[in-house]
């Protein structure tokens, strides 16, 4: 035992004295003749007076436990980039000077994301490279358990691992921290740097006492929270990529049985399994364990169980590991307001939500920014595609929705629907001509802002409109559908339009609202035609016509009849199409709907031209152009100019056709109608080809291909490129009809709109 010849100082000074008592020569105090300590060069936290320490010869050091690093994770795969980044941070021979070396690296991410596996794998790689000859210390801080490891306990554990016997263990946290740093300093000089792996920390306070005082050491921390307070190199982990998730599943099964090829035998189903697991490593490992426990079970059977489950997390449990339990550890640490926000975000529509939707969810005038960022630091919420947008991991969404009470979730959805309906109606007003609702005092200052808002919120709007299946939300959801259809058609989002209209139709039918049901059938038919599902579209418009006729709604019946005319023209029944359009014109004249009448004239011109009645087609298009100018619908006037150019070219009036194309192109570009611009550029190319100018024709068709790509129509873009390659001078006296590429899914805008929406320019 060491003998104190003077009163033993207490507190930190006592810890330093006791540390010096146990240290070897060169540890910060120089020893002479066995009874004299020279403390020059030592670091002290308090004044030390009159201390003399004598070491008893033959005193043995305590046993060390420096081999506590867990074994390498079996089946570790992926994370190549993250592993490389972490190794660069830990490299003791890095390019940064010692004074600015990165002492701490912090791996953070959602529970089950694979933080510990990455940290342990990287620590093994570092040891193999001989980077930390002083050894590797591992400690699990249990930061998310009900009783996390305190600094006092973690220091005691690490000191014991470093060889400090129980009888020499300081009694206070500060003393233990001082001894810990002193012991590491000795070890550095004797053996080299040490890596401390502190797993599962929940706060910076848990880690700070474990930081060495020497930059030759490194500390590697894992946490579900970002820990920027430590001045650490931050490495957030996301879910695995699709290929990495597939490899993890396959590797985990083959560890259990090298001949198990179920994952590789059905890659498509295995990819779906990975998606249902949110590509979360813990969920993937559990799924693999469930398959390994039942060797005869096809992957498709587990996929069906997960896909059909009311709560996927019920199935992601192998008896020892549970995704739900992993999330609960994080959830129960949240303050009440953050926990409520997580629950409400889980019932939000769409894959991402904006700040304005978050504010609606919580029922406040502004979003709870502090709580949002706190959840993001805890990796329970992720930032979206841009600032001010937020998303949840798929399985966190399932967890949060399961934690929300029914009444709480219904109230939040109702608030979001009201918010969306108000904004969507204001935005929709800017897409319609001469709308009194489109006031500059509203939330949007013009058409461009309205379209930008629709574009940003589209996924959420569509998801919210589909809430029409919920009786408590149906009324507002059906109204929201009505405010979306003009935009969805303009952006050619036909599949989305079909989905929301189908939900609105079912809700209206259940409520016995025949007028709303008829309008929904008509809107759905328009969207189905845009998707080239002509048989379904015809049936939908026929149902709409019959319902409107029974109700005595002439305007609605006219819309449906005109839309039936479009489909009849599409399938080559020209005479029947012309008859339908004339019937619709009579009904619209009776109701005085001049704008929808313009749409019918525009659409009537198509079958007239196709049947060789070009002069009648030109007369119809002049009537459409006059009415569009009268009603102030510039975007559809631009589409009518396109059709006028096509008819002029068919008549052989190529110079006038070029002028009409340019007028159409100006309007399309003014209103960012990229698909309309693409069709007009293609038509312009055909006009030049008719005139024998192959070079200009090829240039315009190439521009059309680029515009089709911009409009999200790659098939039409390829058709335009193919036409450009084949373009050559036309034989004299044989004009080529100007037409866009062959009709594909959604090419050419559909016909007149359902009640309350303007007619359109037609294909």
Q: Which of 425, 433, 479 is nearest to 454 (CA)?
A: 425
Distance CA 288, CA 229 (A): 37
pLDDT higher than threshold 60 for residue 45:
no
Q: Residue 510 and residue 232: Cα distance in Å, rounded? A: 58
Q: Measure the CA angle with vertex 708, ends 705 and 710; round to 5°.
A: 115
Query: pLDDT at position 10, please?
Result: 39
Higher local confidence (pLDDT), 365 or 40? 365
26: left (phi over 0), alpha (psi -120 to 50) or beta: left
Instruction: Summarize pLDDT for 160-194 with one digit per residue, the tens.
Output: 999 999 899 999 999 999 999 999 999 999 999 99
Kindly tell me if the per-residue pLDDT of 51 is higher than 70: no
Please give the pLDDT value at position 572.
95
Give me the residue label for tokens 């030049």: 688
Res 383 pLDDT > 50: yes
pLDDT at 292 over 60: yes
* Element holding 30 (H helix, E strand): strand 30-32
CA dihedral 48, 2, 174, 37 (to 10 degrees): 40
68-118 tens-digit pLDDT: 789 988 878 889 999 999 999 999 886 555 545 678 999 999 999 999 999
Residue 447 has pLDDT above 70, yes or no: yes
Cα distances from 232 to residues 185, 229, 520, in angstroms, run: 21, 8, 56
Angle at 212 between CA 209 and CA 218, to 5 degrees: 115
Taking each continuous run of H as one helix and of E as one strand, the counts in the chain are 31, 12
Q: Which of 758, 761, 752 is nearest to 562 (CA)?
A: 752
- Confidence band for 442, pLDDT divided at 50, 70 and 90: confident
Q: Indicate whether this model's pTM tops 0.85.
A: no
**Nearest 5°: phi and psi at 234?**
-95, 130
Confidence of residue 272 (pLDDT cuts 50, 70, 90): very high
pLDDT above 80 (res 12):
no
- The 10s digit of each residue's pLDDT in 639-691 is 999 999 999 999 999 999 999 999 999 999 998 899 999 999 999 999 999 99
Cα 184 to chain center, whole Å? Answer: 45
Please tell me the distance from the alpha carbon of residue 348 to that of residue 327, in angstroms, as a whole number: 19
The confidence score (pLDDT) of residue 286 equals 96
The token pair at 62 is: 């305590």
Contact 504, 477 (CB under 8 A): yes
Alpha helix stretches (DSSP H) within 512-653: 514-530, 534-551, 554-570, 574-591, 594-610, 614-631, 634-650
Q: How far apart are CA 175 and CA 452, in angstroms?
A: 61
Q: Could you give the 3-state DSSP secondary structure of residue 746?
A: coil
Give per-residue pLDDT as tens, 115-156.
Answer: 999 999 999 999 999 999 999 999 999 999 989 999 999 999
**Bridge partners for 389 per DSSP:** 354
- Which domains, ranges and CATH numbers included, belong to the chain? 3-54 (no CATH), 80-92+101-236 (3.40.50.300), 242-324 (no CATH), 334-404 (1.10.10.1690), 635-726 (1.25.40.10)
Q: What is the pLDDT of residue 762?
A: 33
User: 742 falls in which pLDDT band (50, 70, 90)?
Assistant: very low
**DSSP secondary structure of 210-277:** G--SSTTSEEEEEESS--GGGTPEEEE--PPPHHHHHHHHHHHHHHH-TT--HHHHTHHHHHHHHHHT
When pLDDT is cut at 50, 70 and 90, the band that residue 441 belongs to is: low
Q: How many CA atoms lie within 13 A of 334 on its CB side?
A: 27
Which is more confidently placed, 700 or 23?
Answer: 700
| Cα 244 to Cα 276: distance, rounded to the nearest angstrom | 15
pLDDT at position 148, please?
93
List for the chain the helix, strand, coil content (%; round to 5).
60, 5, 35
Percent of the chain residues past pLDDT 70, beyond the cut: 84
Q: Is the pLDDT of residue 197 over 80?
A: yes
At residue 43, the pLDDT reads 37
Q: Could you tell me if 687 and 649 are in contact, meaning their C-beta atoms sit under 8 angstroms apart?
A: yes
pLDDT of the residue at 68: 73
pLDDT at 125: 95
In this prediction, residue 660 carries a pLDDT of 96
Q: Is the pLDDT of residue 303 over 70?
A: yes
Q: How many CB atoms lie within 10 A of CB 572?
A: 10
Residue 439 binned pLDDT confidence (cut-offs 50, 70, 90): low
Strands 194-201 and 30-32: unpaired
Contact (Cβ atoms closer than 8 angstroms) between residue 132 and residue 218: yes
Please calculate the CA angle 203-204-205 and round it to the nearest 5 degrees: 90
Give the separation between CA 750 and CA 746, rounded to whole angstroms: 9
Q: What is the mean pLDDT of the chain?
A: 86
753: confidence class by pLDDT, cuts 50, 70, 90? very low
pLDDT of 597 > 70? The answer is yes
Q: Is the dihedral of CA 531, 536, 540, 541 positive or negative?
A: positive
């Amino acid at each position: 035992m060491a003998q104190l010849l003077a009163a033993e100082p207490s507190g930190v000074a006592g810890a330093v004295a006791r540390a010096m008592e146990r240290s070897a020569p060169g540890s910060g105090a120089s020893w002479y003749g066995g009874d004299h300590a020279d403390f020059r060069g030592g670091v002290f936290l308090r004044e030390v007076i009159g201390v003399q320490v004598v070491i008893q010869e033959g005193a043995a050091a305590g046993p060390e436990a420096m081999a506590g690093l867990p074994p390498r994770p079996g089946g570790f795969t992926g994370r190549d980039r993250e592993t490389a980044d972490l190794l660069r941070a830990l490299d003791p021979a890095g390019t940064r000077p010692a004074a600015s070396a990165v002492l701490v690296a912090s791996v953070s991410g959602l529970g089950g994301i694979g933080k510990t596996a990455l940290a342990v794998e990287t620590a093994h790689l570092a040891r193999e490279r001989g980077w930390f000859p002083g050894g590797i210390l591992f400690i699990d801080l249990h930061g998310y358990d009900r009783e996390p490891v305190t600094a006092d306990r973690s220091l005691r554990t690490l000191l014991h691992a470093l060889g400090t016997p129980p009888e020499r263990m300081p009694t206070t946290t500060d003393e233990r921290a001082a001894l810990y740093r002193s012991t590491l300093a000795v070890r550095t000089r004797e053996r080299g740097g040490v890596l401390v792996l502190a797993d599962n920390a929940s706060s910076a306070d848990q880690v700070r006492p474990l930081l060495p005082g020497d930059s030759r050491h490194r500390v590697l921390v894992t946490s579900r929270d970002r820990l920027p307070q430590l001045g650490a190199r931050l490495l957030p982990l996301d879910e695995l990529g699709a290929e990495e998730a597939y490899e993890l599943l396959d590797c985990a099964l083959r560890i259990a049985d090298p001949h198990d090829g179920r994952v590789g035998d059905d890659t498509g189903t295995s990819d779906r399994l990975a998606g249902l697991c949110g590509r979360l490593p813990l969920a993937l490992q559990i799924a693999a364990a469930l398959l390994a426990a039942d060797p005869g079970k096809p992957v498709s059977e587990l996929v069906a169980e997960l896909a059909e489950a009311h709560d996927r997390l019920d199935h992601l449990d192998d008896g020892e590991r549970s995704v739900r339990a992993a999330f609960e550890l994080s959830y129960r640490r949240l303050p009440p307001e953050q926990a409520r926000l997580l629950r409400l975000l889980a019932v939000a529509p769409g894959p991402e939500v904006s700040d304005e939707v978050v504010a609606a969810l919580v029922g406040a005038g502004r979003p709870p920014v502090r709580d949002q960022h706190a959840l993001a630091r805890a990796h329970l919420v992720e930032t979206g595609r841009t600032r001010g947008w937020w998303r949840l991991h798929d399985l966190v969404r399932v967890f949060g929705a399961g934690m929300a009470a029914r009444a709480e979730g219904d109230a939040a959805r109702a608030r979001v629907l009201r918010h969306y309906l108000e904004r969507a109606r204001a935005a929709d007003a800017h897409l319609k001509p001469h709308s009194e609702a489109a006031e500059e005092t509203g939330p949007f200052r013009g058409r461009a802002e309205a379209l930008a808002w629709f574009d940003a919120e589209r996924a959420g709007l569509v998801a919210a409109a589909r809430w029409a299946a919920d009786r408590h939300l149906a009324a507002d959801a059906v109204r929201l559908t009505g405010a979306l259809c003009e935009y969805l058609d303009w952006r050619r989002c036909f599949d989305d339009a079909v989905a929301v209209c189908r939900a609105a139709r079912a809700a209206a039918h259940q409520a016995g609202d025949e007028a709303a049901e008829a309008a929904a059938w008509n809107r759905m038919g328009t969207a189905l035609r845009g998707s080239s599902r002509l048989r379904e579209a015809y049936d939908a418009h026929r149902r709409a016509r019959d319902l409107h006729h029974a109700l005595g709604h002439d305007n609605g019946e006219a819309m449906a009849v005109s839309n039936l005319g479009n489909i009849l023209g599409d399938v080559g029944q020209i005479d029947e199409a012309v008859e339908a359009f004339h019937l619709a014109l009579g009904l619209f004249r009776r109701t005085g709907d001049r704008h929808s009448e313009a749409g019918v004239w525009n659409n009537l011109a198509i079958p007239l031209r196709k049947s060789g009645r070009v002069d009648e087609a030109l007369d119809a298009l002049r009537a459409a152009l006059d009415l569009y100018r009268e009603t102030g619908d510039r975007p559809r006037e631009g589409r009518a100019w396109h059709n006028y150019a096509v008819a002029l070219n068919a008549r052989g009036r190529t110079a006038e056709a070029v002028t009409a194309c340019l007028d159409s192109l100006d309007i399309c570009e003014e209103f960012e109608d990229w698909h309309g611009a693409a069709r007009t550029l293609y038509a312009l190319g055909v006009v030049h080809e008719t005139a024998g100018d192959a070079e200009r024709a090829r240039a315009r068709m190439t521009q059309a291909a680029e515009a089709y790509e911009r409009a999200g129509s790659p098939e039409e873009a390829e058709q335009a490129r193919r036409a450009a390659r084949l373009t050559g001078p036309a034989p004299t006296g044989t004009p080529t009809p100007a037409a866009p590429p062959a009709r594909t899914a959604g090419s050419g805008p559909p016909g007149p709109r359902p009640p309350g929406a303007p007619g359109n320019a037609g294909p």
